[in-house]
Structure 1
Amino acid sequence: MKKTTKIYLFSIVFTLLVGGISGLLIRDGINAYDANIIKPPLTPPNLVFPIVWSILYLLMGIGIACILTIDGPQRLKTRTLLVYIAQLFFNFCWSLIFFNAQAFLFAFIWLIALWILILIMILLFAKQSKWAAWLQLPYLIWVSFAGYLNLGVWILN
């Protein structure tokens, strides 16, 4: 197997695993959330979330693999990878804060930090691959929508 193929496979599988583990850890929190929380208008059905997140994690994995496999300054790639890992960590923790802890205001503040990290990641991606950067735009849009939902939940509850 070529090195490029291995990097793509690892990046995609790793990113999907982070999302999958997060999903497993918040199952009970989601059940409590669904039973007790007033949700804002435009809240999608629960079925939408795992589908959308799976697609977004796939796009994230493809994007970072693209960055890691193209020619470019190693220092920039390293900085990009660190930001990628940081945003993935913030993404992972947000679900725990929001669903399990139900700390909605803190989760909203955390989500703002995540949004900023995603924007920085996109800008770093764009310096190396416009294609990889464009793949992250749905992620930024979805997290913006999640911000609306998160803020709505905090206000309503």
Structure 2
Amino acid sequence: MTSGGQATAPGRLAAVALSAGPILLAALLGNAATMPNIAPWYEGLVKPPLNPPNWVFGPAWTTLYLLMGVAIYRILRRDPQTPGRSRAIWLFAAQLVLNAGWSFAFFAAHSPLLGLAVILPFEALIIATLLAFWRIDRAAGACLIPYVLWVAFATWLNAGIFALNG
């Protein structure tokens, strides 16, 4: 460790691997659950106002996953004795499970209701993660703000799809 509580070079490499691996896995699992269900199922649903075109989701999620990677990297490179660090990492892991889980609930199960049942605690966990990160590293917390906002928007879309398609 350096005097600022930051990890050394080998610690940074481990933090990069631990940051990227789980996020990539969640992205790949979510993509595997989503892509086969776009056509015809998702395309056939009635959508609420402001539903973006399908091409928006790829760049949006790529950006969010990159920001998540930066955020967790900044937390992982902190001294393991940093107060709240372990809790922040566990919150991040929990929200990441629900991140992938939502795609299975909504797309693979063809269930906007099940998607809603997953996305509500998912959003709560992202907010808790943002707050935990913010207490340790404000830049890490700030990286999660777009994620919180996007999933709040996704929650609104999910609820609208449920309401319109019963």
- Report the TM-score when normalising by structure 1: 0.91
Secondary structure of the structure 2 residue equivalent to 1:78 = helix
Deviations 1:90-145 (A, max 9, x none): 01010111111122122112111001000110111011000000000000000000
Structure 2 residue aligned with 1:127: 135
Q: Measure, in 2, the Cα distance between the counterparts of 1:29 and 1:75.
A: 43
The alignment status of 1:107 with 2:115, answered yes or no, reads: yes
Aligned to 1:20: 28
Report the number of matched residues. 157
Q: Distance in 1 between matches of 2:114 and 2:59?
A: 26
Q: Within 2, Cα distance between the matches of 1:67 and 1:154?
A: 36
Say if 2:12 is the partner of 1:7.
no
Deviates more, 1:65-74 or 1:51-60: 65-74
In the alignment, the residues of structure 2 paired with residue 137 and residue 156 of structure 1 have an alpha-carbon distance, to the nearest angstrom, of 29
Distance 1:138 1:62, change over 3 A: same
Within 2, Cα distance between the matches of 1:126 and 1:75? 12
Between the aligned residues of both structures, percent identity stands at 32
Counterparts of residues 7-156 of structure 1 (less than 5 Å): 7-71=15-79, 73=81, 76-156=84-164
Bigger mean CA offset, 116-125 vs 8-17: 8-17
Q: Which moved more, 1:71-80 or 1:10-19?
A: 71-80
How many angstroms apart in 1 are the aligned matches of 2:146 and 2:41? 25
More helix, by proportion: 1
Q: Please provide the CA RMSD for this pair.
A: 1.7
Does the CA contact (< 8 Å) of 2:26 and 2:99 recur in 1?
no
TM-score between the two structures when normalised by the length of structure 2: 0.87
Amino acid of the structure 2 residue aligned with 1:51: P
In the TM superposition, residue 75 of structure 1 has moved relative to its aligned partner by 6.1
Is there any run of 5+ residues in structure 1 with no aligned partner, and where? none
Compute the displacement of 1:57 (Å): 0.9
Greater C-alpha radius of gyration: 2
